[in-house]
Amino acid sequence: QVQLQESGPGLVKTSQTLSLTCAVSGGSLTTSTSAWHWLRQPPGKGLEWMGVIAYDGSTYYSPSLKSRTSISRDTSKNQFSLQLSSVTPEDTAVYFCARSDGLRVGAVDTTLYNYWGQGTQVTVSS
């Protein structure tokens, strides 16, 4: 059973960089065809896909966030990370990490993901 757990600060100041980590257990980041995503859900809004790092280390980002987003991984720790720069209060959301089989770039249909973290609230203060 694959388990994902997000961690990181719950409060970030405007203009700073938001950094989150997703620790993976019960499965490997390098398993063929696996893909590891970051998504978020702002209050009162729908799920937004942010980006993905595939099993081979390739990355893909949402066009609207690409200039501010970076996803990386540490295979020795079996974890992957999100960095979102120049945050504003509009980046306040619950942030999720998730796993899919196949790349699933841009997917917001939750059924396309087979494992999810519990989510972590991040608030950006003005």
Q: What is the pLDDT of residues 2-37, one digit of tens each?
A: 999 999 999 999 999 999 999 999 999 999 999 999
Q: What share of the chain is helix, strand, coil (3-state, %, to 5)?
A: 5, 50, 45
pLDDT score at 71: 98
d(CA 110, CA 72): 22
Q: What is the token pair recorded at 29?
A: 């980041």
Contacts by 104-111, CB closer than 8 A, 24 or more apart = 104/35, 104/37, 104/52, 105/49, 105/52, 105/60, 106/49, 106/62, 107/37, 107/49, 108/39, 108/46, 108/47, 108/48, 108/49, 110/47
The counts of H helices and E strands in the chain are 0, 11
Asked if pLDDT for residue 77 goes beyond 90, the answer is yes
d(CA 71, CA 110): 20
Asked if pLDDT for residue 110 goes beyond 90, the answer is yes
pLDDT score at 126: 86
